Amino acid sequence: MLLGTLGKKLGMTQMISEDGIVNAVTAVDVTPSTIVQIKTLDRDGYEKIQLGYGEANKISKPLQGHMKDLGEFRYLREVPVKDSSDHSLGDIVTADVFSVGDKISITGTSKGKGFAGPIKRYHFKGGPKSHGQKDKHRAPGSIGAGTTPGRVWKGQRMAGHMGMEKVTVRNLQIAAIDLESNIILVKGAVPGPPGNLLILRKKAERTL
Amino acid sequence: MPDISHLLKMKDRTDLEEVNPGDTVRIHWQVVEGNRTRTQVYQGFVLRIKKGGANASLTVRRVFQDIGVERTFLFSNPRLERIEVVRRGSVRRAKLYYLRGRTGRAARIKEKVSPRK
């Protein structure tokens, strides 16, 4: 049983339940993906399924060899699986791996913020806005003590690159599924801008 | 984004009366108290109407005990039972934010006189 699929963020809107409660929802495009490779415990050391998603403009020869005649996919990502023996190469995966009400995790790339200062990046307070202050409203302040230790500690939070990193949001609930247009509505927000590749995963039941 | 209105299970609200900014309206709103529902009526003038399909809304302003109160209602919310137009107002803009700072005579809205048929 497959426990996930790939999708693309479409955008957000709101949904009103029958008792009048308004929820913010994200629409995710889950155009069917294809099973390209099955990773098994014996051969690879772990059990996962590699899916191909989206259309590629151009693919390299090595990738062509990997995908064979299954299609030309833009993205290849692995999703968890419970017993991979009921799947075979070339199988089509649609949104029906999920059902309404399921709790899922969504992994994607967050929006890039560029080189960000410490206020935006680590929620520093910044300097005073008045009382004779000049040019230090968004400065980080002190970054350490004096002669002892005589250096700056490793891990000191400073300005730097922010965003555009892998982010997973857990416990998102599926609000609606449309198998005809291949769209899933998820309660809450999802990482990245519209058009972002997303990996949707159901939590694997723990086998004790 | 493709059209997903069918997924949002939107209710068709053609049953609602047409309202315009400046109209004085009574909003019949269902309130759930425990397991009982009753209808609450909220009266004020329409400050603005926001368009946008599933997210279209109207904001109604009233001054209650010298405090301005603004409530926003989604047209598509099933708790919105009925909109009753008490008086049609004649205004020259779509968003009546300028009335927020005004009280008394300055905050009046002229009544719309409909042409004779």
Question: What CATH number has the domain bearing residue B79?
Answer: 2.30.30.790
Q: Six-digit token pair at A76? A: 């290849």
Total number of domains in chain B? 1
Residue with tokens 């922010």: A162
Of A116, A114, A111, the closest CA to residue A166 belongs to: A111
Q: How close does chain A come to B108, measured CA to CA in Å?
A: 33
Residue B58 is predicted with a pLDDT of 92
| Phi (first) and psi of residue A65, to 5 degrees | -65, -35
Q: Is B1 on the interface with A (CB under 8 A)?
A: yes
More confident residue, A39 or B7: A39
Strand partners, B69: B62
What residue in B sits closest to A21 (Cα-Cα)? B77
Taking the mean position of all CA atoms in its chain, how far away is CA B86? 12
Is the pLDDT score of A84 beyond 70?
yes
As a whole number, the mean pLDDT across chain A is 91
* Within a domain: B107: no
| Contact assignment for A27 to B55 by CB distance below 8 Å | no
The count of CB pairs under 8 A between chains A and B is: 47
B5 pLDDT tier (thresholds 50, 70, 90): confident
| Contact assignment for B2 to A19 by CB distance below 8 Å | no
CA distances for B17 relative to A102, A142, A173, angstroms? 39, 62, 36
Q: What is the mean pLDDT of residues A107-136?
A: 94
Residue with tokens 């020869």: A61
Bridge-based pairing of strands A166-178 and A183-187 is: antiparallel
Helix (H) or strand (E) holding A43: helix A41-44
DSSP structure string for A80-143: EBS-GGG--TT-EE-GGGS-TT-EEEEEEEPPP-EEE-HHHHH------SSSS--S-SS-----
Chain B positions touching A15 (Cβ under 8 A) are 8-9
Closest partner residue to A183 (CB to CB) among B4, B9, B55 is B4
Of B26, B84, B76, B1, the closest CA to residue A17 belongs to: B76
Residue with tokens 């000049």: A134
Chain B positions touching A27 (Cβ under 8 A) are 1, 4, 7
Domain residue ranges of chain A, discontinuous segments joined by +: 4-112+174-202, 115-141+154-162
Burial B69-81 (b: 16+ CB within 10 A, else e): eeeebbbbbbbbb
Q: Is B54 on the interface with A (CB under 8 A)?
A: yes
Domain residues for the domain of B94 are 24-100
Residue B85 is predicted with a pLDDT of 93
* Within a domain: B70: yes
Q: What is the mean pLDDT of residues B103-115?
A: 85
Q: Which amino acid is at A36?
A: V
Chain B positions touching A195 (Cβ under 8 A) are none
Dist. CA A191–CA A169, nearest whole Å: 8
How buried is residue A123: exposed, middle or buried, by Cβ count under 10 Å (0-12/13-18/19+)?
A: exposed
Burial A34-50 (b: 16+ CB within 10 A, else e): bbbbbbeeeeeeebbbb
More confident residue, A79 or A17: A79
CB B85 within 8 A of CB B19: yes
Residue with tokens 């479409």: A10
CB A123 within 8 A of CB A172: no
A12 pLDDT tier (thresholds 50, 70, 90): very high
| Contact assignment for A19 to B1 by CB distance below 8 Å | no
Q: How close does chain B come to A11, measured CA to CA in Å?
A: 7
Question: Any idea of the CA torsion for A93, A54, A161, A128, to the nearest 10 degrees?
Answer: -80
User: What's the pLDDT tens digit per position in B7-66?
Assistant: 777 666 777 888 999 999 999 998 888 888 899 999 999 999 998 777 889 999 999 998
Residue A205 is predicted with a pLDDT of 60
CATH of range A4-112+174-202; options 3.30.160.810, 1.10.287.610, 3.50.50.60, 3.30.210.10: 3.30.160.810
Q: Looking at this predicted complex, what is its ipTM? A: 0.72
B104 pLDDT tier (thresholds 50, 70, 90): confident
